[in-house]
Amino acid sequence: MTRRTEWPDSPAEPGGDAGAGYGPDASAAARGAAADDAGVRSGRRSREGAGAGGGFGEGAGRRARSGTRSSGSPSSSRAEKGEPRDPVEQARNICLRLLTGTPRTRKQLADALRKREIPDEAAEEVLARFEDVGLIDDAAFAGAWVESRHHGRGLARRALVRELRTKGVDSAVIDEAVGQLDPDQEEETARELVARKLRSTRGLDRDKRLRRLAGMLARKGYGEGMALRVVRQALEEEGEDTEGLDEPF
């Protein structure tokens, strides 16, 4: 049986490696505090400037305050909103958001960073760091995927291999994950799938029932030999004549 993996509920990394720039709460709080402090100092300077030049009048004071509000550059505006300009910090935030609530493979995260135009060097640095601390673990992902999709959807090895390949999992990792699926358990799952579908095929002729049930198993990744054997046994238990069903469908 596949080992269950406890995925982290929080994006915070173990060890509190603040020196490496991986403390999301601390960095966000620091940016917010810096922006607030800058706003207070800016407002104070505007008020002091308006009061000191008595000959400028109220209109000048309004112009001074208006100039203070409109003088911010696009980069300072982004900083006040808390958007990081460092590509490593951007990559890190993207990965943390994507990993919140669900694990993902390294390739899935790499593709997301490439789509967001994160430089390859910054992306590689963040992905390697996340692997080091266990936030990315393709082996654990594959093992959990096999267990969940087999028991939840009844998928067989071939279907599971196809799905894991589309998610960028290495072939050796896939082989190890699906290798933990017991062949007897796989056949028992096929029997359960046929038993649930059997009732809805009653009233159809034998060959049509065979095609429908075997086709359902094939779509879930079961081999032709196993599918034919399981369907034939299920039909026999219902009293169906299965003579001639030994041929591949």
The full set of domain ranges for the chain reads 85-131, 136-180, 181-238
For the residues 76-101, what does the mean pLDDT come to?
Answer: 79
CA 23 to centroid of chain Cα atoms: 21
Say which DSSP state 54 is in.
G
- How is domain 85-131 classified at the architecture level of CATH? Orthogonal Bundle (1.10)
Q: What is the pLDDT of residue 125?
A: 97
Q: What are phi and psi of 84, to 5 degrees?
A: -70, 145
Q: For the ranges 54-58, 73-77, 154-158, which has the lowest average pLDDT?
A: 54-58
Label residue 239 by pLDDT band (50, 70, 90). confident
**Mean of pLDDT over the chain:** 75
Label residue 81 by pLDDT band (50, 70, 90). low
Residue 168 has pLDDT above 60, yes or no: yes
Domains 85-131 and 136-180 share a fold: yes
Give me 160's structure tokens: 């599971």
Q: What is the CATH number of domain 136-180?
A: 1.10.10
Rg (CA), the chain: 31
Alpha carbon distance 130, 104 (integer Å): 11
pTM, two decimals, is 0.63
Give me 238's structure tokens: 């219902």
